[in-house]
Structure 1
């Protein structure tokens, strides 16, 4: 086969020029007919042959240069003059069209010169044909007109920001050119467009913010800011590069929000505090959403929220103190914790419901706001109401919830919710041990007087307290509840024991005995009571039973905790009276006596004078006048004389004669203080035993950390306990540094 005919450079290039000229006519819409397959193959084959001829006829290098020259010639003669003469949006539209044509030209010529790309370019590590084509446009067109490009695009964006319509498709096409001019990087987009866009955006929103902050309320301003941020995000989605979004939004937030946060939050009648006062939850939620993206933007809002809740809480404290003062001035209604617990505790629960709702609904359960709510409640929940601590108020509130006939009639679901909130409020009270002591006494009273609304409720709140405060906190109270159940079982065994020998064991009256475990229940000092024969028989019978069953255990009878149901026959009707054992013992004296002085009652019952006085008061001076008192009056004195009121009657057939409870508050507080001394001693010894030697300040910190779940020990008390332990030789001062203590093994 004969050798292939050699194609001279000019001959071959002349053929290529014809193809390039046709392509230019097509792009300029002067020639509607595209390349046929034959034309395409002819041009491709020409390049192939010119590149594969043997030296010196291998024209690859020259063709590579002429490929670039073809672009340069077309751009300089046709493209650039058409662009330079136009301005603004018209220039952008022309640029978009020319760039699309240029890409078509690059695509076609790259196909014609494909053989160069596959072999010559790769062998010499030159720029690809596509890179060369784009590079020509960048160098000759882009570098020349990019300032006017940028100005025109920014003008269109400004126009849109002012509410006018703009061609988003055009803007997207132009921003794409900035990206493509980076030749695989974002350098051109960022340096030639994005930086100026961000600066321009800052200036635009600085002007807007200055105008709006002077004219608008805080909510109106925030609505505009939110709309602007939404528009900017949409703008990115529509025609800017995605990498711009975070930078653009940051600029808008900085100018609209960060710069004016203090002024916005403190705006008179419409700032954050005003929104809280007016319950503008939607505006608060918007404020949270907007400032959550601003560096440290939420901290001032959380502080205002905390201050507001503190103020609301202190208003509750002041209202409760005023109620207490008013009740104290009314001698008919002496001040007690239960008379003001509704004023404070229920209101505090409602306040918690309200502002925990704010935290969840408006502030996204954010940790800053949870902490603000916690600190605000801790602030006012530990103030106390006069002489009564909030721990006692909370215990009394829980007692009312859990008692039969309590002040609040709640469904099971609502009761569980309320008990949950009681426990949540307790978390804000530092004197949890004080609550525990009062709650324990109230629980004991409910259990012994059978006034619990439900054993399920009792166990429910104990379970919640156990989860919140630990097993040790509820261990004694759980022991009480278990004791009552155990006592019922013991009573069943006792009744069967009686039935086994009813002739000798049956008592003249029905009675129940509740066995209490000494370590679980509050300590009561048994008072002596001379029981009537019927009661004495009951005690003796049960004592015989118990000694036989539990020979290792000793029973101590606490008669003042006993309850009696007594049927009293009057002329009109029989009335069933519920009272405590000391009251009944006093009343039964009048079966055989017409009149008795207080002193005689003391002698016959052998009860302490204070207990007799309280019993006589409940029977003669309180709601029901079971006894007549001479002289009449509201106080009981030693010389007063009492007689049975035979004419007593009442609309009810069943009445409860309450015995005025002794003031347990002082004794309870003293018990707590004493327990705290022991707890601090134990904590100091534990710390020193572990550390061996420790500076005083560090010792205080560690002791507080150990005890703060139960109570917050005062530094003064810790110092007193340290001194006491030194005297007891548990610890000693360091000889060289008196502020350092050592453990004595």
Structure 2
């Protein structure tokens, strides 16, 4: 057998009969006796070992790195090819060795190499490879080092060495064991060593910004090189290990130095360099966190600085305020898009910082008083942003110069912009309160620019997550107006038929649901003109016949009308509130008389604050050059009116147009219909706080009922999650309501753990 085996090892020509004879000879010897297979295996091992020693001698003749690698790759290539052919004739040998239980030879198990192939690879590994592997690795790494320095060489030499490492392992469980422990390890170490020297030199010579370009280029270059020289087969992680190694030496080692430039780059909007920094830092553990912090700090400081610089304008103009907020949002969004490719982490930071700007109280402050046990307690000041947003919505939805100059599409876009800002408002319940007040005013005065937009706005509020009970209440207001129109028509027909009174056409009643529209405290008594007083019982009788059991409550505060005002100069139509009407009718029977403040109070029965406000609208209406009433002594403000102050009709009152007085005309003295008294304004703010208290209690009970048992921290987290669409409850408020619920036996503390709450059914 030996001559044929040696020919095969040397890759010399073997005839067909020699090849077949080898099969037969192996078969015959293995069947002689128990010692036959062992002798064949030993002889084969000796011949292979001798062949490998000769190959080693031929390789070691070469001293130069490239020549050594070429010689080794050539010898290995021949030998590895024979590893595929030589074991074939020895199948019977393997069967015989595997079949003997007492045999001490290695046995082939399922999934393993054949015994002869394994012996060939192991022998190569133990003799030539173990003797010269360090020289091979060093030579290969020197060539890679040369390539990194821009020198040309034959890359197949490194690839050939790598392949020998990959194919040498005969371990069935880890085919790449030799490769991982030797070639891959050496490659990673060589890469680290190269850049540990190169990177600091480049940084010192070229600065951070140029270094980032260098690091980015080298990371891409090394990844491409790794795909060429390292194993990329299925399940092999060599390339990712190399990339991690490069990130460590090129980026992580200089993380603090690079990040030090971040804040200044954000400040001057260097988006391209920031994008490069982001791509580098995103590879480093916690590398992004300082960048997120810098972005947040920039947005908050820049946003507040811009708001402060425009404070004088935006505090008096809600349109400018909203435009300023949107301009900031668009500016910061553009920065995140261009510098950080809209990465979700940076978008979250933008939202968090923008929320701080929107809810900041350094420019606008709203203080909500809260009554506790009969005492006024000041709560934490809040931003006036929700109030100003509601004012801006009102400007867009009401018939104003702003809404008239905009197309329906532009109005819709601006309303959507308001909703965008509203998303970031913490205390949405304040927005709701003001928005509802404005909507009430628009529906009562019929000043809506577009009814369809009004109803769309309600649906949009629902879509952005406003509480359902609030949105449903707004929707109910539109239904009430529609129902009122039908009732009004019926009333006019009945009244016209019964009384034959043309004045019925001038009367317009709105019967509205008190729960959706107003509070009892808004009701203020006033002495109505006789003409109106006569209608009240008739309206009540008409409604009682339609809906038995329902009670009507008259809200004169929300009423208005048009009266004809005559003086010596001419006739004018005045649009007035019911309170203004009540005051003017005091002169109906005595147009030339002077009436004291005290007499007017007795005649109208108006509360002092409302009477002062009403009289002020007649003696100092800002749009009029000639006032409806005159007074003596003159008063600079409503507070200056005394009981003895005299008021009388201005007989020379006229509307001035183009510098000339007009004898006819119409003037709106209603202005912004006052929907709340001084008292109810306080109640408004207090009502917001009371509603918050109830919402917190309701949410805590809901959570406790569901969880049965919960820790204090978990309860607070869930509570904020439930309430965040309306307002952000303070820790103090949460603590107070928990104590209240414990006191009233809704829940209790665990006896063993005071931070654990238990629901009490």
Q: Confirm or deny a common fold (TM above 0.5).
A: yes
Alpha-carbon offset, residue 176 of structure 1: 1.4
Alpha-carbon offset, residue 287 of structure 1: 3.1
**CA, structure 1 residues 597+528, in 2 after alignment: closer, same or farther (shift >3 Å)?**
same
- Contact kept? 1:628, 1:645, Cα under 8 Å: no
- 2:623 partner SS: coil
Alpha-carbon offset, residue 623 of structure 1: 0.5
Q: Distance in 1 between matches of 2:87 and 2:690?
A: 95
Alpha-carbon offset, residue 254 of structure 1: 1.8
Q: Distance in 1 between matches of 2:651 and 2:83?
A: 122
Alpha-carbon offset, residue 702 of structure 1: 8.5
Q: Is 1:396 aligned to residue 403 of structure 2?
A: no
Give runs of aligned pairs for residues 147-546 of structure 1, distance below 5 A.
Answer: 147-183=134-170, 185-216=175-206, 218-242=208-232, 243-266=237-260, 271-316=261-306, 318-319=308-309, 339-342=316-319, 344-356=321-333, 358=335, 362-363=339-340, 368-384=345-361, 385-388=363-366, 389-390=383-384, 391-405=386-400, 407=402, 418-420=414-416, 422-423=418-419, 425-467=421-463, 468-495=465-492, 497=494, 501=497, 504=500, 506-507=502-503, 509-523=505-519, 525-536=522-533, 539=536, 541-546=538-543
Residue 111 of structure 2 corresponds to none
Residue 328 of structure 1 corresponds to none
- 1:507 partner SS: helix
Q: Is 1:623 aligned to residue 617 of structure 2?
A: no
Residue 641 of structure 1 corresponds to 648
Give runs of aligned pairs for residues 29-40 of structure 1, distance below 5 A.
Answer: 35=13, 40=15
Q: Distance in 2 between matches of 1:349 and 1:602?
A: 48
Deviations 1:507-527 (A, max 9, x none): 254332222211112325233
- Contact kept? 1:509, 1:534, Cα under 8 Å: no
Give runs of aligned pairs for residues 127-166 of structure 1, distance below 5 A.
Answer: 127-166=114-153
**CA, structure 1 residues 448+739, in 2 after alignment: closer, same or farther (shift >3 Å)?**
same
Deviations 1:483-508 (A, max 9, x none): 22332333344455457x27635425
**CA, structure 1 residues 612+15, in 2 after alignment: closer, same or farther (shift >3 Å)?**
closer
Residue 47 of structure 1 corresponds to 22
Residue 77 of structure 1 corresponds to 54
Residue 6 of structure 1 corresponds to none
Q: Distance in 2 between matches of 1:656 and 1:580?
A: 10
- 1:279 partner SS: coil
Q: Distance in 2 between matches of 1:729 and 1:237?
A: 69
**CA, structure 1 residues 584+655, in 2 after alignment: closer, same or farther (shift >3 Å)?**
same
- Contact kept? 1:466, 1:473, Cα under 8 Å: no
- Contact kept? 2:746, 2:760, Cα under 8 Å: yes
Q: Is 1:582 aligned to residue 579 of structure 2?
A: yes
- Contact kept? 2:628, 2:649, Cα under 8 Å: yes
- Contact kept? 1:597, 1:642, Cα under 8 Å: no
Alpha-carbon offset, residue 47 of structure 1: 0.8
Alpha-carbon offset, residue 210 of structure 1: 1.7
- Contact kept? 2:387, 2:430, Cα under 8 Å: yes
**CA, structure 1 residues 727+158, in 2 after alignment: closer, same or farther (shift >3 Å)?**
closer
Name the TM-score, length of structure 2 as normaliser: 0.78
Name the TM-score, length of structure 1 as normaliser: 0.79
- Contact kept? 2:27, 2:92, Cα under 8 Å: no
User: Any stretches of 5+ residues in structure 2 without a counterpart?
Assistant: 101-106, 109-113, 367-382
- 1:85 partner SS: coil
Q: Distance in 2 between matches of 1:720 and 1:102?
A: 84
Alpha-carbon offset, residue 561 of structure 1: 1.9
Deviations 1:655-692 (A, max 9, x none): 53344646675442222234345556667788899999
Deviations 1:42-92 (A, max 9, x none): 211221332244775997655544544454444433553244413223322
- Contact kept? 1:693, 1:742, Cα under 8 Å: yes
- Contact kept? 1:320, 1:340, Cα under 8 Å: no
Q: Distance in 1 between matches of 2:712 and 2:36?
A: 93
Residue 669 of structure 2 corresponds to 657
Q: Distance in 1 between matches of 2:229 and 2:408?
A: 58
Q: Distance in 1 between matches of 2:76 and 2:750?
A: 87
Alpha-carbon offset, residue 189 of structure 1: 0.9
- 1:555 partner SS: coil
Residue 27 of structure 1 corresponds to none
- 1:355 partner SS: helix
**CA, structure 1 residues 231+507, in 2 after alignment: closer, same or farther (shift >3 Å)?**
same
Residue 30 of structure 1 corresponds to none
Q: Distance in 2 between matches of 1:100 and 1:744?
A: 81
- Contact kept? 2:592, 2:648, Cα under 8 Å: no
Alpha-carbon RMSD = 4.5
Q: Distance in 2 between matches of 1:95 and 1:736?
A: 75
Deviations 1:193-244 (A, max 9, x none): 1112222222323333323443455443333322222222222322311321
Question: Which stretch has the larger CA shift, 607-616 or 717-726?
Answer: 717-726
Residue 376 of structure 2 corresponds to none
Q: Distance in 1 between matches of 2:480 and 2:549?
A: 18
- Contact kept? 1:306, 1:373, Cα under 8 Å: yes
Q: Distance in 1 between matches of 2:697 and 2:45?
A: 92
Q: Distance in 2 between matches of 1:96 and 1:358?
A: 55
Q: Distance in 2 between matches of 1:723 and 1:177?
A: 75
Q: Distance in 2 between matches of 1:154 and 1:552?
A: 98
Deviations 1:231-276 (A, max 9, x none): 222223223113212211111222222232222111xxxx222232
Alpha-carbon offset, residue 546 of structure 1: 1.9
- 2:630 partner SS: strand
- Whose relative contact order is higher, 1 or 2, with alpha carbons under 8 Å and at least 6 apart? 2
- Contact kept? 2:4, 2:22, Cα under 8 Å: no
Question: Which stretch has the larger CA shift, 568-577 or 295-304?
Answer: 568-577
Deviations 1:523-550 (A, max 9, x none): 2523334444554455455444323212
**CA, structure 1 residues 17+142, in 2 after alignment: closer, same or farther (shift >3 Å)?**
closer
Alpha-carbon offset, residue 103 of structure 1: 2.9
Question: Which stretch has the larger CA shift, 658-667 or 379-388?
Answer: 658-667
Q: Distance in 1 between matches of 2:594 and 2:194?
A: 97
Q: Is 1:564 aligned to residue 558 of structure 2?
A: no
User: Any stretches of 5+ residues in structure 1 without a counterpart?
Assistant: 1-11, 25-34, 325-336
- Contact kept? 1:75, 1:140, Cα under 8 Å: yes
- Contact kept? 1:153, 1:171, Cα under 8 Å: yes
- 1:512 partner SS: coil
